[in-house]
Amino acid sequence: MRLTLRALISHGRVARKMGLGPESRINMLRNILTGLVRHERIETTTARADEVRFYAEKLVDYAKRGDTDEKAMKMASFWLTEKDLVPKLFNVLAPRFETHSKGYTRMARLPNRENLDRAKMAVLEYKGNPFPPLYPVKKDNELTLINQLLRGYREDRAQQLATKA
């Protein structure tokens, strides 16, 4: 092959390298995906979470085909190293995302890891999990003075519209 500089510069290369090689990368992602299916919310480095996201969603798409499908079962048994999670995938996760067409996972950044490496961490979860939300919704207090005045104003307007109509 031509020994050009282009082989060394990685401008525009989108595929990530992880671990010792492509096989190692797939094995790592398999382990992370198994953890995700078991716990439904996991913390890893940002790069790994981003990689796993694609595979997690594809896995759910396969699971939606149903466990009678040959290909779906093969995929599930390959990707989930702990075989007790295969029924969970087909009976819990697939029905949960029946109405969703895509976007079964959510990723959020975390503070960097405390170790020397200070790695960028992220949390990855399947939507609809039983834990408290990652972005808690802060509701305005209805009883403050200004909110009570606005409530009276709104009721007044509704009444006026009702009498006009």
Token duo for residue 4: 């050009």
22-39 and 70-79 helices, crossing angle to 10°: 100
Nearer to other proteins, 24 or 160 (CB): 160
Residue 160 found at the interface with other proteins (CB under 8 A): yes
Nearer to other proteins, 101 or 163 (CB): 163
Nearer to other proteins, 127 or 154 (CB): 154
Closest approach of Cβ 165 to other proteins, in Å? Answer: 14
Q: How far apart are CA 36 and CA 116, in angstroms?
A: 26
Amino acid at 121: M
Token duo for residue 108: 């959020």
Q: How far apart are CA 96 and CA 126, in angstroms?
A: 10
Closest approach of Cβ 142 to other proteins, in Å? Answer: 10
Residue 137 found at the interface with other proteins (CB under 8 A): no
Residue 158 found at the interface with other proteins (CB under 8 A): no
Token duo for residue 125: 């979860």
Nearer to other proteins, 91 or 147 (CB): 147
Closest approach of Cβ 161 to other proteins, in Å? Answer: 11
Residue 159 found at the interface with other proteins (CB under 8 A): yes
Angle at alpha carbon of residue 133, lines to 132 and 135, rounded to 5°: 140
Residue 150 found at the interface with other proteins (CB under 8 A): yes
Sign of the C-alpha dihedral computed for residues 114, 120, 126 and 131 taken in this order: positive
Residue 115 found at the interface with other proteins (CB under 8 A): no
**Among 58, 42, 54, 55, which residue's Cα sits nearest to residue 122?**
42
Rule CB under 8 A: choose which of 14, 15, 116, 146 binds other proteins. 146
**Binding residues vs other proteins (CB under 8 A):** 141, 143-146, 148-153, 155-156, 159-160, 163
